[in-house]
Amino acid sequence: MNKKGFTLMELLTVLVVMVIIAMVVYPSVTKILQKNSNEMYSSYEKMMVEYAKASNSSERIIALSELEGLDKIKEEKCVGYVDTLEEKAYIKCSNKYTTKGYKDLSEEE
């Protein structure tokens, strides 16, 4: 009898190899995704500083809601502000990202 197909042992071996590969690849993929996400938010912060400079406001703190043209950041439900004295932006986008040193200005009022 000439049977063509895989034995149970061959199938289990392939499954074990695939699980091992997945365990090795998963951490590096998640690290790459997190890095790309952080770079995106960092570029948002740079855009906010540039828009604050362009606004020529005399205020030291300019809220994200006051900056025109940053719809992409606002679509992601981000809140934040620019400290014009330090030329640094701070944003908080739900649980995805928060700039180090971010202070919730609504709590201080």
Count structural domains, the chain. Answer: 1
Determine which helix (DSSP H) or strand (DSSP E) holds 38, and give its type and residue range.
helix 8-55
Per residue in 35-89, pLDDT (tens digit) is 998 899 999 899 999 988 888 888 889 898 888 888 888 888 889 999 988 899 9
Instruction: Enter the pTM of the model.
Output: 0.68
- The answer to whether residue 26 is domain-embedded is yes
Q: Which domain holds residue 97?
A: 8-108
In a domain, 3, yes or no: no
Alpha-carbon span 77 to 13, nearest angstrom: 46
Do the domain assignments include residue 20? yes
On whether residue 1 sits in a domain, the answer given is: no
DSSP assignment of 63-79: EGGGSTT-HHHHHTTEE
Q: Is residue 28 part of a domain?
A: yes
77 part of a folded domain? yes
